[in-house]
Amino acid sequence: MNSEKRDFSVIGTSVRRVDGADKVTGKARYAGDLIIPGMIEGKFLRSPYAHARILSIDTREVEALPGVIAVITSKDFSDVSPYMGRGKNRDHPIIAVDRVIFAGQPVAAVAAVDRATAEEALARIAVEYQELPALIDVEDALATGAPRIHEFAEKNICFQTELVKGDVESGFAEADEIFEDTFEFPMIYHYSMEPHTAIAEVDSDGINIWTSTGHPFGVRQEIAEIYHYPLSKIRVHVNFVGGAYGSKSGGKIEPLVVALARKAQRPVRVALNVAEAMVTCRRHAVQCKLKTGVKKDGTLIAKQAEIYLNTGAYAETGPIVTGRTLTRILGPYRYPNLKINSYCVYTNTVSAASFRSIGGPQTAWATESQMDIIAQKLGLDPVELRLKNLVKKGEEIRPKLKPLDADLAKGLKLVTDKLGWDGALSKTGRGRGVGFGTTDPGAPLASTSTVHVLADGSVVLLCGTVELGQGAKTVMSQIVAEELSVPLERVTIRPIDTAFTPFDRSTGSSRSTTVMGKAVELAGSDARRQILELAQEHFESPEEAITLKDGQAIAGGKKVSYGELIHKHFAMQGGELVGRGYAHSGMAPTPANPLFWEIGIGAVELDVDQETGEVHVHKYVTAADAGKALHPLHCEGQDEGSAMMGIGHTFYEAYQFDSGQIINAGMVDYKVPGFDDVPDQFDSILIEDGNGPGPYGAKGLGEGGIIPVAPAIANAIAWCSGARIKTLPLTPEKVWRAIKDAGQVASSGLRSRT
């Protein structure tokens, strides 16, 4: 049913969050709040070297220390599969074996009666290392003669892929201008408010894990494969998670925590701090080399790109991210000729994982920045240049992928009108910039949900989508309330326990509202059908004569509650109705990749202090194609929060290394945006065309807002100061130096012309 023509009761309304009161009062229980009877504390000993051979580990003194229950080294994994990883990329040892290949890699672990004893124990483990050369940057890893980080990876390349369309060399021959630029995007930390935390218990019944993960079923699968348990013997419990953004996708610390619990024969909790979480995973650093050919009127003719991703010590999600860059480097633009090569490169750094819009911010940083370089050289307005080359709705962005399902020109106009765009320079001399994010979210189709209508007419929802702070519990409850025509407060969503919760592929890839939301909608619809069947029997009326409202069936001026119908059906013995919903490949169109296109559009107005390089953002406008905003306030919050994360990596965030070690690991030295960084005027626009594949026409939107921020800001800086910067972050010093360099170039050019 088209969402624009339907009368909704709770869908499209910014209802109160169902978890809001518990969170603001501190009643919400996260993994770190749980107390399991008999629980002890675990800690990991981490390598101080980025690359070293482990000559010996002496744990004898620690094992005799009062209060130490268990000590783990690689020798404790002889009876299991000691490697973890995604799919075929199982290259990551749970604990270092013969070598450490990044600073911070666990080499031993202890479990003790309390955290202080565990920390003392770590200090008494004697490890002898032989330091080896470390390769921190992609250039070093790819250099001729560079040592191999893994023997199986020739030239330290983890994975590579290519996209070809047309004939790029012929395209360059037709072009009037050719632009060649290199852009660099640094390593970024996810910075969830809750660092990774897990509790594990191993007993005769199997393995229990309480963890802060977005992939409870993925963790279950990984633990089963490592420890040779059937899935039925592993229970993963998740209730609330304090942010993830991709950092808690799949197993991270859980396999090693299980190892501690297995040896200790006690429940063990490991709660990381920020510095430890920073050496658990991060975003891919990327270098993009772009070559783009255009006509004098701005028509894009050809694009060639070489993309190098620093994936760190192990593959993790690197191959997946590398594959996505082939699409995301294109932006939303029409290119007759393409040749894109993307390389995933091993280095001696912490492994890179999924992070909000994998590969999107890094590649848009390059493409959207170069679009303004082209506009400036050709004397064109950057908005007009984009409008000229935008892919239209129903047109193909990438060969064999689903055609575009959004009106990009409409979205760009909404954003620029809101900003008040009348050129890249305002009348007061402020710079303006725009940027696009156009991505192909994975949104894998494998979600199941059940809706239980109980004997009193109240409703219980079981679904595997994790509440990460994004509002999943609320929007899923809204869908159920809508389908069953019951008040929202009559719906309860249970915490996740993989022993009882129906399967869900994952919480990520902008899939929850779209894919799990569809499963919940179908489950609610199935339960509604059953209620209507009971009501038809009760009233002896056809379905079209019956109305469902506020938990009651109404016909001919008479009412009966759902509870009464259920009691009657089960001969007054209580009972419940169970609705089932499956979101699978059958809901996908052909071609099915992507399930939908996720669009983010940003525009900014700012000024730059020429003497200090400080940038002040006066206005920022962000827009997302929501399809249908099921909870508008949540949608706006997701998009604005995503944009603020973009402001973080634009101005501040980057891992800093010295001799292979991270030297800014912690909340003091690694700055993220605060309230002072919010733009003076901050507007969000929700585009609702009701044409998404999710419930009521919804699409995912949580990732699009982060993508355009950095290039939009860099473009605005360039237009008002002449300083074009191609490496992030845009620190005041970097901006100041770029302004001075631009001034010197301009002065030199003036002297030569004179």
Provide the annotated active-site residues: 703
Sheet holding 431-439, edge to edge: 431-439, 598-608, 615-625, 681-687
Tell me the residue type at 360: G
312 and 347 in contact (C-beta within 8 Å)?
yes
ω before 336 within 30° of 0 (cis)? no
d(CA 300, CA 282): 34
Phi then psi for residue 616, to 5 deg, are -120, 120
Q: Give how far the C-alpha of residue 271 lies from the chain's centroid of Cα atoms, to the nearest Å.
A: 22
659 and 684 in contact (C-beta within 8 Å)?
no
Phi then psi for residue 355, to 5 deg, are -155, 125
12 and 627 in contact (C-beta within 8 Å)?
no
Give the number of other Cβ atoms within 10 Å of residue 666's Cβ: 12
Q: Both tokens of residue 16?
A: 């109160």
The contacts of residue 78 (CB under 8 Å, 6+ apart) are none
Which residue from 43, 52, 95, 99 is spatially nearest to 73, judged by alpha carbons? 95
d(CA 367, CA 243): 29
207 and 201 in contact (C-beta within 8 Å)?
yes
Give, for 683, the enclosing helix (H) or strand (E). strand 681-687
d(CA 573, CA 563): 11
Which residue from 214, 198, 209, 272 is spatially nearest to 247, judged by alpha carbons? 214
d(CA 639, CA 409): 19
Q: Phi/psi class of residue 638: alpha, beta or left (left: φ > 0; alpha: ψ in -120 to 50)?
A: alpha
- Pairing relationship of beta strands 496-497 and 234-238 according to DSSP bridges: antiparallel
Q: Both tokens of residue 237?
A: 């419990």
268 and 98 in contact (C-beta within 8 Å)?
no
Give the number of other Cβ atoms within 10 Å of residue 198's Cβ: 28
d(CA 561, CA 567): 10
Q: Find the DSSP H helices in 90-227.
A: 115-123, 138-142, 168-174, 216-227
Q: Both tokens of residue 580?
A: 């089932």
Burial environment of residue 627 by CB neighbours within 10 A (0 to 12, 13 to 18, 19 or more): buried
Q: Both tokens of residue 197?
A: 């935390």
509 and 442 in contact (C-beta within 8 Å)?
yes
